[in-house]
Amino acid sequence: MKFFVDTANIDEISELSEMGIVDGVTTNPSLIYKSGRDFKEVIKEIARIVSGPISAEVTSLDKNEMIDQGLELSKIANNIVIKVPLTEHGLIACKNLSKKSIKVNVTLCFSSSQALIASKMGATYISPFIGRLDDISNEGLNLIEEIITIYSNYPDRLSTEVLVASIRSPLQVAQVAQMGADVATIPPKIIKQMIKHPLTDIGLNSFMEDWKKTGQTF
């Protein structure tokens, strides 16, 4: 499963990229707002760091404006993926941009029927938000299972990758990986949490203490 980092913070992206753990980046208007920086400049800087897909989201609800913005954003770098909302206008924009060989990430997906129609409209990625479903007492993981099942029924016709978003814990990353999700977009904090385990720390401390007792030096 590919790991995308879900942030617009350049320092976080650089750190994780140097570790070799980042396959791509996803951004959205909220993350850009938190960065306090110019949208296009942030995307350009990310593109200088990461060679994998970088999702840059349109900021209009009108299909024609979405298409225009998508065309403009796609010129920033070859690895830019245009992010559009799962609305009627967003899907029309997705279809038009896809016909121009521009990759599209259809975001804010909350049902398998939405995922099905997005794939038929040419989406490169579908972004179901599992954490937000959990927040309203729906099981977000069930949605991932449904989408993967539907897509796998039509491998020759539906090529959209399942990009799991709104991940809240390391456990959810492992769970969607078990289901066969193509991508998980993960906040930097969660990626760091995935590395750590208390038993690893305990075992390492024990090994180091025993090494000191040998009186040896390397």
15-26 pLDDT, tens digit each: 999 999 999 999
Q: How far apart are CA 176 and CA 170, in angstroms?
A: 10
CA dihedral 109, 113, 119, 121 (to 10 degrees): -100
pLDDT at 196 (0 to 100) = 95
Residues 34, 173 contacting (CB under 8 angstroms): no
The domain segmentation of the chain, as residue ranges, is 2-193
- Grouping H, G, I as helix, E, B as strand and the rest as coil, residue 18 is helix
Reply yes or no on whether the pLDDT at 189 is more than 90: yes
pLDDT, average across residues 165-175: 98
Based on the residue annotation, tell me whether 192 is a catalytic residue of this protein.
no
Among 43, 109, 117, 55, which Cα is nearest to 83's?
A: 55
Mean of the per-residue pLDDT values of the chain: 96
Q: How far apart are CA 172 and CA 41, in angstroms?
A: 32
pLDDT at 218 (0 to 100) = 84
Q: How far apart are CA 76 and CA 133, in angstroms?
A: 33
- The CATH number of domain 2-193, selected from 3.50.50.60, 3.30.450.70, 3.20.20.70, 3.40.50.1400: 3.20.20.70
**Whole-prediction pTM:** 0.94
pLDDT at 136 (0 to 100) = 96
Q: Provide the token pair at 208.
A: 């180091």
pLDDT at 51 (0 to 100) = 96
Catalytic residue among 2, 40, 75, 83, which? 83
The pLDDT confidence band at residue 130, using thresholds 50, 70 and 90, is very high
Task: Convert the pLDDT of each residue in 107-124 to its tens digit.
Answer: 999 999 999 999 999 999
Phi/psi of residue 181, nearest 5 degrees? -60, 145
Beta strands in the chain (DSSP E): 2-6, 24-26, 54-57, 80-85, 104-109, 125-128, 161-164, 183-186
